[in-house]
Amino acid sequence: MNFGIVVFPSKEIQDFSNSHRMRYDPHYKLLPPHITIKKLESFDEQKMDEIVAHLEDVTSNLSPFEITFNRVSNFFPLSNVIYLALEETNKITTLYESINTGILREVQPQFPFTPHLTIGQNLNEDEMFDIFANLKTYNIHYRMKVDRIHMLYQLENEVWTAYQSFVLKDKY
């Protein structure tokens, strides 16, 4: 079964991103707007109890925090992806590093962790630059509180759905 771990943005950010994703992201109907914390992996269902225990342990030691999306950016020339970028990434990187330990440790990630919210992908180069130039004119400033993560799994029709949510609840 395919699983991933994400943070879902506030409704305001979802509305803004979906207004663009419906045209520029072929995954629009498969998965709501999100920040990927742990990319798609295939796990045996027998490991799920261990993964859930790991995520419960990690989230019990992390406090909720705020993040701010402040601009549109892209991954060109690595890929033709347009995304909402964060003003400061330290806290969400700490979340990523905490989750990607133990059973969820990724030995050699293909790319460094770059927290973002995709609003366009699988675009040809001209299309990407045209859309990117247009989106750069927007005054982006969306703040949100990160107080939970969501473990998702992929259904047979490729749609993603929630398996379990984990609240950040620092015990100390």
Q: Which of the following is catalytic: 20, 54, 116, 150?
A: 116
Question: How far is 94 from 107, CA to CA, in rounded Å?
Answer: 17
34 part of the active site: yes
Whole-number Å distance between alpha carbons of 118 and 25: 8
Question: Catalytic residue among 20, 34, 54, 150, which?
Answer: 34
- Residues whose CB is less than 8 angstroms from the CB of residue 149 and which lie 6 or more positions away in sequence, other chains included: 5, 6, 7, 37, 55, 59, 95, 99, 165, 166, 168
Alpha carbons within 13 A on the beta-carbon side of 141: 1
- CA 45 from chain centre, in angstroms, equals 23
Least Cα distance to 135 among 15, 13, 20, 8 occurs for 20
What positions carry a catalytic annotation? Answer: 34, 116
